Amino acid sequence: MKRYIITTGSVTYAIKGRDLLRRKGYRARVEKVTATAQNSGCGYSIILEDDDIITAEKILRNAGIKIQSISDY
């Protein structure tokens, strides 16, 4: 099973997105993003444990969750 980091920025969006994915049966949790030169600094992300990132992303975007980036965990 693959794992993805879906960066939402705010903890509010991260928790909202996580809860939404969990209600749809996905395994998801919230983690603080490590600030690096590659991102815009601190923030929060959803860690998704599922192969179907495309559907998960669609669910989040349809619910108005602002996604900053998606990458492999």
Contact set with another protein (CB under 8 A)? 9-13, 15-16, 30-32, 35, 39-44, 64, 66
Distance of CA 20 to the CA centre of its chain: 11
Between 41 and 52, whose beta carbon lies closer to another protein? 41
Composition of the chain by helix, strand, coil, percent to 5: 30, 30, 35
Between CA 42 and CA 46, with CA 45 as vertex, the angle to 5 degrees is: 170
Between 9 and 48, whose beta carbon lies closer to another protein? 9
| CB 7 to another protein: min, Å | 10
Between 40 and 55, whose beta carbon lies closer to another protein? 40
